[in-house]
Structure 1
Amino acid sequence: MPTASVGVFKIATKGPGDVSGLMAMIVSGAIDPTSILAVLGKTEGNGGVNDFTREYAVAALCTALAPQLGLAPQEVEQRIAFVMSGGTEGVLSPHITVFTRSEVAQRPAGISGKRLSIGMAQTRDFLPEELGRSAQIAETAKAVKAAMADAGIADPTDVHFVQIKCPLLTSERVEAAAARGNKTTTISSYSSMAYSRGASALGVAVALGEVTSDIRDDDVLRRYDLFSKVASTSSGIELMHNVVIVLGNSGTSASEFEIGHAVMNDAIDAPAVVSALQSVGLEVGLEVGLGVAPRAKAGRELVNIFAKAEASPDGSVRGFRHTMLEDTDISSTRHARAAVGGLIAGLAGTGVVYVSGGAEHQGPAGGGPVAAIARMF
């Protein structure tokens, strides 16, 4: 497999339609638009079914990149994977993370070992009645393996984060299934987000060998002992297939970056966040005037942290009751993003981190995966 150089650029945004930071980096030459492979973003919407900030952000990015790539805006979305996660509650700050990949003749001097690599794949379009069920699990597993191959990763233990954008159900999609004599997992658009996220995460677990037993349709959102330690899935109204992005370390990469991960057992698992930072050579310590912040050793710096968050389905955290699932005014996913986002921001020394809500089968119930990317210089 050819040697690839993977770049990572974190860019703050002033709103879901703000592309000025990205365009400035393209104009300066820091980013070659033809090398952009994926964009992961946090937008300031509600993260629900009707969160149109996600679609707005993607439309703005496609419109801005179209002339740079000589493509129509709708063609840009076919070339670049866009995953927008709505909801920047609490101290979370809206931003995008741009991943680039380009081939190089050989590794530059000083780069050795396994470095950050990225791969992409897509599933076929799903029928509404397939969402949240075994068909989505199986097709996602196939796409994860294809994305691993695209990234040059053979060993599943080298995979540290798998970001998936998956579909959800709408009234029209539910009615279309019914017209064919089929029932969907749920008739609720909001509930369908969880089913789709959960089935997609189980697909990752199957692909990586984290779950080896057969998974039944009834296991989704019920067998929480089945989960992936690296899956991060987000539902959206704008597609009917899964977009899979695999992030890991590969010996074929010539990147300046490295990724590592840990698993949070609950929403206040600070040691897991510290472990993720340590896995890429960063230590957490008290800095005068800054509070807690990561310290680099051996010339490393934090680029971004990616995590999943959810309200524990048993209604408690370490034996004490929480009210996130009972609050009728605010979605539990919004509570969870704010709580986990605040914890990670405090340890990372910045609120510009990627925390996505809804962690069904993504880490143990009430917890979730947390991955860190660092640059070595």
Structure 2
Amino acid sequence: MRVGVHKVKMGNPGDVSDLKRQIEEGSIKPHEIVAMIGKTEGNGGANDFTRGFATQSLSLLLAPYLDLSPDAVAKRIAFVWSGGTEGVLSPHTTVFTRSEAEPATGKRLAIGIAMTRDFLPEEVGTMAEVREVAAAVRIALEEAGIDDPRDVHYVQVKGPLLTPALVTDAESRGAKLVTNDPNGSKPYARGATALGVAVALGEVDEADLSDDAIAKRMDLYSSVANTSAGGELRNCEILLFGNSSKAGGDLRIGHAVLKDVVDGDAVRAAIANAVGDDADPAVALDRVKAIFAKAEAPVGGMLRGSRTTMLSDADIHYERHARAALGAVITSITGDAKIFVSGGTEHQCKPGEAPIAAIVQV
């Protein structure tokens, strides 16, 4: 396996011109595309339709190249979107390709992809979702050729949240939901999928979990999960990234934990971890191919002894504040604003902390 990583600019959620250019130039081969992870300029909420629009637009572009219908393209390729490009964050997508290659000397970047079944509304944010995601992560781990869970550095999960239509459906059947608030379902949805990752990788014992623990027991978490929820999905898509001795190519991935949204040292640590823990991250900056991170408001609104208004601002949700802040910090270090920064860290690192992963060329 050889994994390729390609950044694609997007002028709007329907703009496919840069991907088309890279395909026509031969740098991206459509038949090798297995996944995309991107940012759109939507609001990131339950009514953010830019994510579905972006998937539709890219599927329409790729359909003739792959001789498939647009719907079949969306089933063949895992599309993961996060809405919200506040501050300097640039709308884009990262295209992942996979091809045959002989194993390299040393471990190299590998990717495993798996999907869960569709969930009923009453299953979103519950142990049913935790268990299904855990099973899918194990499948992705095997597909990636990774034997040791410690070689996993980033697991991206995109799953469903509750929409008004799904809430109405459940209520008509007398089914109990984790909440009747669509936007309020995001912490449960993100939390359940993160705990699924934690269970599969041995970070959390399933015996310690229950429906009541989801979005409440924040001492239970994964350090490598990065989860999002959207109304455009009914199932969960799992993209697992790690380093495998069975993979070829010249890319590696590493991760670190952000202590807060201005933790530049953690950005450098993730880069160094990808190249090798003894590497000088300053030297490796020009080798960075992609950065993926979560952003969280500081606990109690206090950032290194100073009060912030992230948690008390009635006009701008804290996730938008946090994404903008972290995006600026990462961009100031790497010089590239085409980075994936998503909000909401339920069961993704300790409260106030957040995961960050870096893919580099070695």
Q: TM exceeds 0.5? A: yes
How far did 1:102 drift? Answer: 1.2
Q: After the TM superposition, which residues 1-377 of structure 1 pair with which residues of structure 2 at under 5 Å, given as runs?
A: 4-104=1-101, 106-107=102-103, 111-212=104-205, 213-281=207-275, 283-284=280-281, 294-296=282-284, 301-376=287-362
One-letter amino acid of the structure 2 residue matched with residue 36 of structure 1:
I
8 Å contact from structure 2 (residues 121, 177) kept in 1: yes
Equivalents in 1 of 2:157, 2:268: separation in Å? 25
Bigger fraction of residues in helix? 2
3-state SS in 1 of match to 2:72: helix
How far did 1:229 drift? Answer: 0.5
What count of residue pairs does the alignment treat as equivalent? 358
Equivalents in 2 of 1:306, 1:69: separation in Å? 28
Q: 5+ residue gaps in structure 1?
A: 285-293
8 Å contact from structure 2 (residues 267, 330) kept in 1: yes
Q: 5+ residue gaps in structure 2?
A: none
8 Å contact from structure 1 (residues 266, 365) kept in 2: no
How far did 1:222 drift? Answer: 1.1
3-state SS in 1 of match to 2:292: strand
Equivalents in 2 of 1:198, 1:320: separation in Å? 28
How far did 1:313 drift? Answer: 5.0
Equivalents in 1 of 2:336, 2:27: separation in Å? 23
One-letter amino acid of the structure 2 residue matched with residue 225 of structure 1:
D
Q: Percent identity?
A: 52
3-state SS in 2 of match to 1:314: helix
One-letter amino acid of the structure 2 residue matched with residue 140 of structure 1:
V
Equivalents in 2 of 1:305, 1:197: separation in Å? 20
Encode CA deviations 1:134-153: one digit per residue, 9 max, x unaligned: 11111110010111111111
8 Å contact from structure 1 (residues 42, 87) kept in 2: yes
Equivalents in 2 of 1:143, 1:163: separation in Å? 12
8 Å contact from structure 2 (residues 45, 183) kept in 1: yes
Equivalents in 2 of 1:162, 1:175: separation in Å? 32
How far did 1:280 drift? Answer: 2.3
Encode CA deviations 1:290-340: one digit per residue, 9 max, x unaligned: xxxx4339xx71111100012235333334433212111111111110011
One-letter amino acid of the structure 2 residue matched with residue 19 of structure 1:
V
8 Å contact from structure 2 (residues 51, 232) kept in 1: no
TM-score (norm 1): 0.92
C-alpha root-mean-square deviation of aligned residues, in Å?
1.5
3-state SS in 1 of match to 2:300: coil
Equivalents in 2 of 1:92, 1:267: separation in Å? 14
